[in-house]
Amino acid sequence: MFCRYCGSYIPDDSVFCSKCGKRLGRRENPRVEKIVRKLRLKTPYPYSAILITLFIIWAAWPKGSHADYSRLKWSFELDRKADAPAEQVFQQALSLVVENTGPSPVSEIPIEVRATISPAKKADVEADFLGRRLLIVQQGHTLPVTLIVGGTVASGAKKRILVNGNIQAEPPFKVTYEIRDEDGRTVLASYVVEQE
């Protein structure tokens, strides 16, 4: 027998070529072969088609919301701001406050963070949220981001989350920061920054 890769002479029962080291013969997965023999299949592929179909159905199935937003109150509070109009940079240190008015604790709350600018112009807006710097407006185009507010908010308790906003734009403008539910349909809280 000769190696089909390098042409070297090798013994007939070789699994690997002794010269080039390439694997010879059919490539078989022993686990798959055992399943095929046990189920008396000619191929395992019909079962993979069923699994792929089930996965597509699961992915397309509408999923319910993770949180009951009706029992949560959201608000923004301005802690401080630092503007540098000469460099066209406007910064805000905000606190996003969530209060649980429901009877049970809530954890792992998905929210969408977004911003809009008007009048429309080339501008960038970033938000430092939960330790991540997120670009939520790029060159005037809104880029919504979905995040999870981790931890647990007990019944009747409040949680404060620091959000630093950074706007790079030429005045005049009006930027609206928004927190929405995970579907992006309902505005839960908003904060407006205006520069003349």
pLDDT above 80 for 173: yes
Same domain, 126 and 154: yes
Same domain, 20 and 112: no
Instruction: Give the pLDDT of residue 45.
Output: 59
Same domain, 31 and 102: no
Q: Which of 13, 36, 61 marks a domain boundary? A: 61
pLDDT in tens, 26-45: 656 667 677 767 776 665 55
Number of domains in the chain: 2
pLDDT in tens, 136-147: 999 989 989 888
- By the 8 A CB rule, do 121 and 141 touch? no
Same domain, 19 and 48: yes
Q: Which of 61, 85, 100 marks a domain boundary? A: 61
Which comes out higher in pLDDT, residue 73 or 64?
73
16-25, 81-90, 98-107, 131-140: which range is least confident on average? 16-25
Same domain, 117 and 147: yes
Average pLDDT over every residue of 123-142: 88
Same domain, 51 and 144: no
Q: Which of 43, 61, 79 marks a domain boundary? A: 61
177 half-sphere exposure, CB direction, 13 A CA radius: 30
Instruction: Give the pLDDT of residue 27.
Output: 58
pLDDT band at 149 (very low <50, low <70, confident <90, very high): confident
Q: Which of 13-17, 66-70, 87-91, 182-186 is the most confident on average? A: 87-91
Tokens (6 digits) for 107:
């954890």
Same domain, 102 and 169: yes
The predicted model scores a pTM of 0.65
Same domain, 113 and 30: no
The percent of residues above 90 in pLDDT, for the chain, comes to 42
DSSP secondary structure of 25-79 = S----HHHHHHHHHHT-S-SHHHHHHHHHHHHHHHHS----SS-GGGEEEEEEEE
- By the 8 A CB rule, do 113 and 144 touch? yes
Same domain, 8 and 51: yes
pLDDT band at 15 (very low <50, low <70, confident <90, very high): confident
Same domain, 44 and 92: no
Same domain, 9 and 96: no
**Strand 72-84 versus strand 89-100 pairing type:** antiparallel
CA angle 124, 128, 130 (to 5 degrees): 150
Same domain, 15 and 41: yes
Q: What is the CATH number of the domain that holds 137?
A: 2.60.40.10
Domain of residue 10 covers 1-61
